[in-house]
């Protein structure tokens, strides 16, 4: 191999690889600490809105750490990060739109408490659905 092919010396390449290795180890430790925080927060007496806010925030931080380092996007061109985030925003927007489109308040309460559908089953036979509506 010529010197032009590898402008860095063997020791410099090893040092760079060592830094990357330690970055991955530190990130794994960071993610494990955040996972521990998520588990602890679940058992604390927080209001549900605060609990979901904290859990979603920590999950988003963990998500971006994983995609940036473990998927090596941090070393790629900025255009690839922009394309990934654009796809993520489209997916999130679709999810929010669907959640707002279909709400529990839109369901007829009579359907939720309908007892006309009776389910019969026995160990020897499959589930049989009978309706008491004629």
Of 120, 7, 122, the residue nearest 132 (C-alpha): 120
pLDDT of res. 91: 93
pLDDT of res. 11: 79
Residues of the chain whose pLDDT is less than 70?
A: 1-6, 104, 110-134
pLDDT of res. 125: 56
pLDDT of res. 35: 93
72: left (phi over 0), alpha (psi -120 to 50) or beta: left
pLDDT of res. 94: 95
Q: For 126, phi and psi rounded to 5 degrees?
A: -70, 170
pLDDT of res. 112: 65
Give me the percent of the chain exceeding a pLDDT of 70.
74
pLDDT of res. 51: 92
CA distance 126 to 120: 9
């Amino acid at each position: 191999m010529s010197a032009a092919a590898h402008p860095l010396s063997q020791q410099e390449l090893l040092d760079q690889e060592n830094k990357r290795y330690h970055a991955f180890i530190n990130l794994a430790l960071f993610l494990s600490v955040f996972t521990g925080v998520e588990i602890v927060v679940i058992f604390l007496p927080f209001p549900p809105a605060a609990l979901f806010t904290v859990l979603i925030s920590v999950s988003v931080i963990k998500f971006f750490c994983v995609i940036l380092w473990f998927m090596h996007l941090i070393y790629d061109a900025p255009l690839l990060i922009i394309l990934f985030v654009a796809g993520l925003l489209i997916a999130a927007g679709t999810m929010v739109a669907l959640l707002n489109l279909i709400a529990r308040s839109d369901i007829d309460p009579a359907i939720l408490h309908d007892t006309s559908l009776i389910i019969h089953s026995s160990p020897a036979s499959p589930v049989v659905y009978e309706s008491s509506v004629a």
